[in-house]
Amino acid sequence: MFSFVLFAVLNKDVLTSPAVQAESRSGRVKRVIGGREIEQGDWPYLAHLMGKVPVTYFWGIPTMYRRHYCGGAVVHKRWVLTAAHCFQQKDFADDTATPEYWHIKVGEVVASHDMFDKAKHYMGKLLGRDDWLLWNLHAEQIIIHPQYNESDHWRHDIALVRLEEDLPIGPEDPNIGVIPLPAHGETAWPNDRAECVMKGWGCSHRGGRVQDVAHLAVLPKVDDETCSRMYVPYGVTMDTRLCAGYNLENVGICRGDSGGPLVCRHDDGFDDYWVHAGIASFTSASHPGQVPGVFTRVSAYVNWIQQTIRENTETEE
């Protein structure tokens, strides 16, 4: 009960989606609250999404852009899993979900999206220099869950992004890999108080300075009953969501983290490995990092993820 009372007092402005940081000129993003820097190759499925959406034109030529930043996770050599609200919110332009406006950077912990990256990548392919390859790709297709509803506190906050070309998964590039998905409907996992890891480029604190390097934070999974007591009074249903984080520890998700992966250890009896448990969806508007954040529960959508990829991938593996 203490957690709910604390949350209610701190959040008179209620909730906010944490990870779309929109700016018109700056290309830098923010980091996870209370986290530490990630080393290159540590979490090879981590993806950085940047949308550059035109907002004003002169004679049909864009003169000003709005930038959106999100995290994501590679779940297939051609697909990245992220949050639906990265592309659809009531204060966004109608064309925010246009694939050509989005770049996805994979295999790097630095989030820059400049022309140098693209030029170096293509020169690396031309000259056979694998060490020059920088995977900063356009989106080819954006698929938002058909039942996504911002008005219902970002319910079904999940989306898939198809990349313009296949990623070099596995031995081709040790810095790029795929995160395993849980079994569909595996609601008993992760266990309560399990130490999970959230990664992203979100703000270091509310109103904090921007950072370019991805950070991680260890967040314990909050039991569903406590999570419900905290959020149900605001009209949030928890059947397809989970909570992770702390009270008053200054550790958690913040603006810039939306869509980023929460991963937890999974023991199948033969091996112990990281599995994609949650997608960063929303947190406290006024005190991010001081209360547990809410994540879309990936296990509730595995069938949708697999079917969507299967139906929209030209060559099956």
Q: At 242, which CATH number? A: 2.40.10.10
Question: Do 169 and 82 share a domain, yes or no?
Answer: yes
Q: In angstroms, what is the C-alpha Rg of the chain? A: 19
Question: Do 268 and 149 share a domain, yes or no?
Answer: no
Is 21 within the bounds of a domain? no
309 pLDDT above the threshold of 50: yes
pLDDT tens digits, residue range 247-262? 544 455 666 678 999 9
16 pLDDT above the threshold of 90: no
Question: Do 66 and 131 share a domain, yes or no?
Answer: yes
Give residue 8's pLDDT: 27
Question: Do 58 and 111 share a domain, yes or no?
Answer: yes
Q: Calculate what percentage of the chain has a pLDDT beyond 90.
A: 34
The β-bridge partners of 211 are 29
Taking the C-alpha atoms of residue 261 and residue 298, their distance in angstroms, rounded to an integer, is 10
Question: Do 165 and 272 share a domain, yes or no?
Answer: no
Question: Do 48 and 174 share a domain, yes or no?
Answer: yes
Is 23 within the bounds of a domain? no
pLDDT tens digits, residue range 163-219? 999 999 878 788 899 999 999 988 889 999 898 998 877 655 555 444 678 888 888
Least confident window among 78-92, 123-137, 156-170, 263-277: 123-137
| Region 266-276 average pLDDT | 82
On whether the CB atoms of residues 313 and 76 are closer than 8 A, the answer is: yes
> What value, to the nearest 5°, has the Cα angle with vertex 217 and ends 309 and 228?
75
Question: Do 50 and 165 share a domain, yes or no?
Answer: yes
Bigger pLDDT: 77 vs 132: 77
Give residue 7's pLDDT: 26
Q: How confident is the model at residue 22 (pLDDT cuts 50, 70, 90)?
A: very low
Question: Do 71 and 161 share a domain, yes or no?
Answer: yes
Give residue 130's pLDDT: 63
Question: Do 100 and 113 share a domain, yes or no?
Answer: yes
On whether the CB atoms of residues 275 and 181 are closer than 8 A, the answer is: yes
What number of other Cβ atoms are within 10 A of residue 127's Cβ?
9
pLDDT tens digits, residue range 205-215? 555 444 678 88
| Region 130-137 average pLDDT | 71
Is 26 within the bounds of a domain? no
Tokens standing for 146? 């058909």
Ranges of H-type helices in 88-243:
115-127, 224-231
pLDDT tens digits, residue range 217-238? 888 999 888 888 887 777 788 8
Q: Where are the beta strands (DSSP E) in 145-227?
A: 159-163, 195-200, 215-222
111 pLDDT above the threshold of 70: no
In order of 186, 256, 263, 308, the CA distances from 161 in angstroms are: 24, 18, 19, 10
Is 245 within the bounds of a domain? yes
The β-bridge partners of 263 are 197, 276
Range of the domain at 258: 2-13+180-299
Taking the C-alpha atoms of residue 109 and residue 40, their distance in angstroms, rounded to an integer, is 6
Question: Do 123 and 98 share a domain, yes or no?
Answer: yes
| Region 76-86 average pLDDT | 96
Is 284 within the bounds of a domain? yes
Measured torsion, CA atoms of residues 194, 195, 196, 200, in degrees rounded to the nearest 10: 150
Q: How confident is the model at residue 24 (pLDDT cuts 50, 70, 90)?
A: very low
293 pLDDT above the threshold of 90: no
Is 211 within the bounds of a domain? yes
Question: Do 185 and 295 share a domain, yes or no?
Answer: yes
Give residue 27's pLDDT: 27
Is 19 within the bounds of a domain? no
Q: How confident is the model at residue 285 (pLDDT cuts 50, 70, 90)?
A: low
Q: How confident is the model at residue 66 (pLDDT cuts 50, 70, 90)?
A: confident
Q: How many domains does the chain have?
A: 2
Question: Do 243 and 290 share a domain, yes or no?
Answer: yes
145 pLDDT above the threshold of 60: yes
Give residue 180's pLDDT: 96
Bigger pLDDT: 36 vs 254: 36
Tokens standing for 296? 């879309």
Taking the C-alpha atoms of residue 236 and residue 156, their distance in angstroms, rounded to an integer, is 12
Tokens standing for 220? 């314990």
Is 73 within the bounds of a domain? yes
Give residue 232's pLDDT: 76
Give residue 82's pLDDT: 97
Give residue 143's pLDDT: 97
32 pLDDT above the threshold of 60: no
Give residue 177's pLDDT: 94
Identify the CA nearest to 19 among candidates 74, 64, 69, 92: 69
31 pLDDT above the threshold of 70: no
